[in-house]
Structure 1
């Protein structure tokens, strides 16, 4: 059985140096073909680009994570210029989206500047013909779907998605992709999403170094965890494990244009 896997969403640059080395040394042992490293801001993008030039298995995306203070217009333009300059070395634009959790902590934070910033990145994704990696959950997700539809962007990857059934239906109809995290082993909300979302629009991720609970308590988040994720997906969907491995692998390679 082909057990090759691809981590479709990891913050590689946020790991400690020894952790990075360990993961890269163990990619073959755990049959990991590639890591898609997303960026949090311009400095993060620069770090990821340097890593990608050094490690062929790391494929990188450049963006501004929304769960942080809004940057200045000048900072946004510096990042967009970096994206333009290095478009041939990046696999996607991301991680970008809307600040759901930040606004939960502080409801006074205005949403409009984040929408404006996100729309710029969506326009860039369309212009450069690159996939876009999205942080858009719960009530933010329908708004992001509308922005994608406005600009006719179809290669959209909603990582660690949570949302209502009507949004899920729209995402399925629009052929957007989701990626499943290791918490599918113990979170009912994620399990329900797996049951309801088509396997041919699904990938797996770690979102490392974000830590997990359950069987992963007190462990460094590692791409090897994706094997447990895939086994759980196969069980939830009642599909042969080999078929799930193959479909998710092919989904990710096709979506991101991996050779």
Structure 2
């Protein structure tokens, strides 16, 4: 039996890169609401759209399916998932549970954070807040995702960061179609990225913790209005956290922040 030499590393990198580019482009389209739930397409349609061969497209679509970001129908193609309100509630609750655990773990350990990443976090916060206040959905989706990825990397481990990113992708896949085309997007998008960053850099762990819980409550409440769902701000628990202080109130520093 003749030996088939493997493809060159360069060829593998090119193909992998193309697959990742296609997957990333489709993921961005879904997150921005340009590929809403129920949209159906085939490998050939996507290959023709992007002007590439079918193989990396098929690999990209199978990869997105494995991430539960697409549904695959045998011999029929792929469909953008239809997420119900109950799915969205679970997404937000999962996000709240993970971030709550992260900040409880940081109690007394604020000095272990990689504070050298602060300038990058601030840039991400500025960009995301501007996009949210301007109601620029396409810009906001990307900026918001990068901000939360930077924040999670700032304080957590890689597996937690990846999981939170997956939850955020799911969040936008659900939310963006409800926001797209509205003139009042800014009323339904959280814009506290800068204040959250300022509190974190001031070592005010408790206020950051409370802000994240309140942010998740606000996410449910805002989307419940758009979706016509009741009890949208129902995110039970976390009553042991102090209230968020008003603007201008100095942040208390953690005991070990300067150690």
Point out the structure with the larger strand share.
1
Q: Which has the larger radius of gyration?
A: 2
Instruction: Report the structure, 1 or 2, having the larger helix content.
Output: 2
TM-score, structure 1 length as denominator?
A: 0.21
TM-score (norm 2): 0.21
